[in-house]
Every structure is written in structure tokens, then in C-alpha cells.
Structure 1
Amino acid sequence: MGKIILSKNKLCIKVLVLVLVLLSQGAFAYGESLEAEGEKDLEPGAVLEMKTEEFEKGKEIKFDIKNVGETELTFARMFEVEYYNEESENWEAIELDIVWPQDMIMLLPGESHTQTLNQDNFAQEAKKGLYRINKDIQCFDTGKEFELQEEFEIIPKTSKDETIEGTQDDITYIYKNGELKLDWGEKNTGGYEISIEDFSIDDDKLIVDYALTSPGDAPVIQVITHPTDTKTIPSEMREFDEIELNLLEHNKLDEEEKLDEEEKEEKEIKEEKNKLFSLILKLFRLLSFDLK
């Protein structure tokens, strides 16, 4: 009888041990399931957004990093900028002249952080075209890292209604309403001319080819002149933000050309004198008629 009871007790113990093993395995599996669900819940979510996709050259570029997940995010202030080279069809890294602070930004779910990129921070002058920002983000709870990207475009700041003025090599240029005027300034004699020959676009610059003519050693008429020239820029060439003048040639008038010019100017002066004399004569006749 005692042996039967002992066998039953051993059986109960074995069953109890088996139940405990099964329960422990179930609990472990349940724990793994909860851990997996927890990791899933902690999956980070973030977006990089800009209010506009186009920025005029020289303008400040702002972008927001938004935490749209359920876990805390952390990241440094550093980011990368790349330029899309249409010729090679590749993204090229842009060198930035920035001293980055060494602090870290913490972003709770639902929060956002704004960062700014000044085009003056480009190590080389910013060109018009397609760019993108690359930003590394880390999940604070899990340490998981991921990258955000957003594209934007730098466009020329010049429009048809804007005015651009400047001086290069003693030539003043004024661009307004689609027209460009070159002004050589005041000259003490005749024989000076300036002429716009051609336009071309180089990236974001309007290249203006022009020619000059000035008197040589032969005598010229002593009249104050102000040589200028104005041309309309073709509509397809009006997207630029800088003007560069390119002197094609500087001609010197020969003696014959100068004499022709002097004769022309003397003829104009003579015609003005004749007009003045005719006017005086008419006045004299009117006065003589009244006296009679």
C-alpha cells in the first residue's frame, strides 16, 4: 500500500514538473511575442519636409524634421547636401563651409525641429539645379538608424520686372523689363561709340558681348558726348542673376572716319545756326511790319 502511494506521488511530481515546463515555455514564447510586439511598436517614424521645393538663388533654405512615430528620436545637427549632375546623371556631394555644434537634438513623438541652410555656406557658389538633403536619424530606445532625404531646386532669382545694375571696366549696365543698356559715360570729344553685339547664358550669368570705338590721334570735334547702346534680351535668356560684360574689340577711328564724323557734326552745327538765323530774320520782319 505504501509503495502504491509512493508511485502515485512520483507520478504527481512528474506531472507537476511537466506542467511547469510547459508553462515556462509558454511564458517564454509569450514574452518573446510581447518583445516582438514591443519592438514593432517602437519602430521609429520621421519625415523631412520643406514648405516649398524651389528656392531662389541666395535665399535661405529651411526644412523640418518631424517625429511621426511612437518613440523618441535623436540626431546631430549635421546633414549632407548633394547636387544632381545632369551630364553624368549622378549625385555629387557638396562641400559645406559650416562648423557644426556637437550637441544632440532629442525629438519626442509629435514634435518637429527646423534646420536652416544658407547658400553662403556652400564652399563654392551655388548653381541652379536639383539638390537633395540627407539627414541621419536614430531611434533613442532601440538605437536603430535610418536616413531621411528630400529634394529641392535652386532657381535664378531674376524675373522680367527686376532691375540689375552694375559697373565693369568703366561700363555701366542697367537691366530692366527685358532690356539691357550699356553706358560708357561722358566723353569730352566725339568719336566714341559702344555697341552691344550678342548675348549668351553661362549657367546663371548673362554674358554680354560688346565693342568699343574711340578716336585716335587725328583731331576730333570738341563736343561732349555720352555713348550708350540698348538692346532687348531674348525672352529665353532672361533667367539669370548676374551680368558679365565681355569686350570683343576696341576699335580706333582712322583719320578719314574722324574727318567724316567731324564734317557730320559741323554740318549739324551749321544747320542749327541757319535755323537760328532764320528765326531772327522772321522776328525782325515782324517788328518792321509793326513799325509801319
Structure 2
Amino acid sequence: MRSILATTLLALTAAAGVSAHGYLSSPPPFGYEKATYQIDDLKSPNNNGLCRGEKPGPVAQVTAGGSLKLGFTITAPHVGPCAVSLLDADLNLASEKQIDTRMDCAAPGKVRDWDVVIPTWASGTMNLRWTWQGCHVQPCEPYEQCVRLQVSGGSGTPTKNGTVAAQGVSTQQPAPTPQPETPAPQPVVPAPQPVVPAPQPVVPAPQPNTPAPSAPATKEPCDDNASTGGAPSKTFPVVSYGGQCAAGAFTCKGDAVGQCSQGRWVYFPCASGTTCTRVGAGAICGHKKAY
């Protein structure tokens, strides 16, 4: 088995010099045998659906709660978000649960191995799916590979939200900001007037010029998605803690494309002169219309 794996990895390394883009090369993905005769089918943009429509490759043995090192063969690094998720043995999309994400796993200068933690609930035969949006062009180009896993020691019961947090990212929603209680205004009671016996005129006592108590300003709840100048910020990614989203979903926010990661939106900017547009279930950056 080790001999076969070593031969496979050697073939994948030798094939990396072919001009194309990139792919997950370790552990051997679905369709890994094409690395020796049709490598462009592995590292070109995906147009063949889930797992590129390839047949499963060798099974990677992993332990629930342990880590799996992902290696990449990238010949044309591009900026764009990446994600890793798990699916059941039958590749049902309804079973897909995202377990890790990065903004630029294959960007220039950032191509490196990726240690992914296998959730403690994972068990039995499962499939790992790696996806990458290459946003060097518009619309972004989709890449993906899948790896067949055999997971031991897992509980087989997903967590409440079915996901595991990426390193340094909490899965808990922030508590709402407490609002101060505004006391009701107190009525102004006039001071009693002194009685002056006749024939002296009744002279009212001077009234204190006391303004009615004003209500303290009510602190507004913090909104991570509020606009600060009418135009979207160009500093990305921006994580929105205010709402839930489905793993792998896309959206637009001004001149930025958003992808759902760990149940919240992660945004990255469009190229200069372009803006985000929804196309079906996806989102792309294209040239702005001239009016």
C-alpha cells in the first residue's frame, strides 16, 4: 500500500510542471490516476459537478478528532476563498457540513499544506470535499477535489450546527448589547406661593428655573454590517455575526462577493471597476454598467 501511495505521489509531483492551475494532490483525490495521462482534467476549473464527476480514489484512514494534512499542486496561484467540508458515503449534498475555511489557500506566496481537524462526530465511510474559488478573473473560476475517508473512533452524531470552528473563529453568536432603561420623566411640581395679608399685594415667590430631566441617550446595538459612508468598505474579509447562512452559499454586498463560511458571511472585494452581481445561486464580479 505504501509503495502504491509513494508511486502515486511521485507521479503527481512530476506532473506539476504541466501548464494549468492547481488541484488537491494529497491524499490522492477522486480521479487521481489522470495525473499520469490527462492532468488538466484535475487542475482545470470544474464544469462536471460534485467531485468533478470522478470516481473515488484510494481510501485515506483518519481518526475522529485527529488531523489530516492536505497537500496541493498549484502551478498558477490565484486569490480566492477555500473551504473543506464532509459528506456522507453516498455524496448526498444535504449531508454536507463545512469543517474549515481559508481566504487564500492557493494565493501567490500562500500555497502550503493545510492541516484539517476531523470532527469528533465523523464516523465510518465519508467524503472530504475541497473547494476553491479562483478570483483572478471574473466571474471566479470554481475548482474542487474530493477524497474518500474511513473515519474511526467518531461518535457518528454531528454537533448542534453540524460544523467545527476554524482556528481562531468562534461558532457562538455574540450576545446582544444590553440596552439602558430610560426612566419616565418626573412631573414638575411648582413651589407653593406665599400668602401676603392685605393691603399688601400678593407677591409670588420666585420660581427656580429647573429644566425637566432629560432622558439619557439610548445606546444603539452594534451592527457589524452597517455602512459607514454609503459605500462598502474595501477592507476584507469582513465577518458578519448578525445572521445565519448556508454553507457554500454566495451573496453580494456592493463591490464585494460574499461566501458563507461557518454559518456567517465572509466577503472579498471585486477588482477595480467591477461590481458584484447575483447569477442564479452564485455571485460574480463584472464590469459596471454605463448609464
What's the TM-score once normalised by structure 2's chain length?
Answer: 0.29
Q: 1 or 2 for the larger relative contact order (CA 8 Å, sep ≥6)?
A: 2
Q: Tell me which protein shows more strand as a share of its residues.
A: 1
Q: Normalising by structure 1, what TM-score?
A: 0.29
Bigger Rg, which one = 1
